[in-house]
Structure 1
């Protein structure tokens, strides 16, 4: 059986309430309360998106995410009452797509989940300019969905590729954060933390000196610009 969303949270009352709310609005959702129950559920069902708590009794949601990323690329959104920047960075670094703080508003969470599901069901990014985009040392083949740096292949995760594609496609102009949230994530509810981590990862892969970027430049208070002819 296929589900739109699986909630993994040891707070049973909250998980059940969220699940019921999602189903009311036609987001086919189930919930489990442990890591082992999650593993078993995923062996028997197809799931398009995971809402994952960090604290799962004796198991860490971080560890479960790392394990799942070995076999699946579905969106994983962390939901947690832990609010430290370190937790957010760890969640995104190990493969989480976003980090949502508890307590959350069901209406806003539903909108975010719907936006992510829509983004992941979209067709691939349209081809243009013969399928090739060039900016400085970076070239993107939109037909093959591959990027190179000085002719050498770049190993990019899905969202890193989408973000780099958008930056190169709109090179030499300032791109506001809100435009990146909408154009790359398809989600006006994406947060600064998510964007900042992906920008940092891209800089580590394409900049000569990531701490002194020459390609992906920060425009303070507005957004980013990719500089390159």
Structure 2
């Protein structure tokens, strides 16, 4: 029987040098996510989102990044879900990407804001029809009696909206505005490379190496 405590891997694929990394963390992120996509790792756009409720209990879930630029990282979801409710009470959150095959992790922290209605509308109408109906059919994070509830809801909203479902008022985008980034590259002998970018009061990025 294999012991979990004995599972080990030697990380030897790449290195991360602070002298060679860009001064803006978004440029480093752009480089790494493009490499993850081109390397065809499974779901390179998947990220863990961590939020904290008013009772200070943290929760995580996996969501999909749908855009990034100088403003931050964007995803879309149900505003009435658990994560939506927690963000309404505490707008600070953390994201994490883990590209196992590349031995890389990116951690991002910051304040979360809703994107504009225009951005939410544009993305919603770009989705496949079944996904647009699904946004209406699923009362996300609520207890339901069974899958038949979802199937019935989907049929009802499909008949109501046909090919043109509007964006639900409870559905749209969020953007995390980063003030802290960490980039982790696995290295041999557990002497990993770990770079921290912190946004200063002057709105510049301070880049530092952290011990692994």
Structure with bigger RCO (C-alpha 8 Å, 6+ apart): 2
TM-score bracket, shorter-length normalisation: under 0.3
Question: Under a length normalisation based on structure 2, what TM-score does the superposition of the two structures give?
Answer: 0.28
Please, what TM-score do these two structures have when normalized by structure 1?
A: 0.26
Greater strand proportion: 2
Find the structure with the greater CA-based Rg: 2
Which protein is richer in helix relative to its size? 1
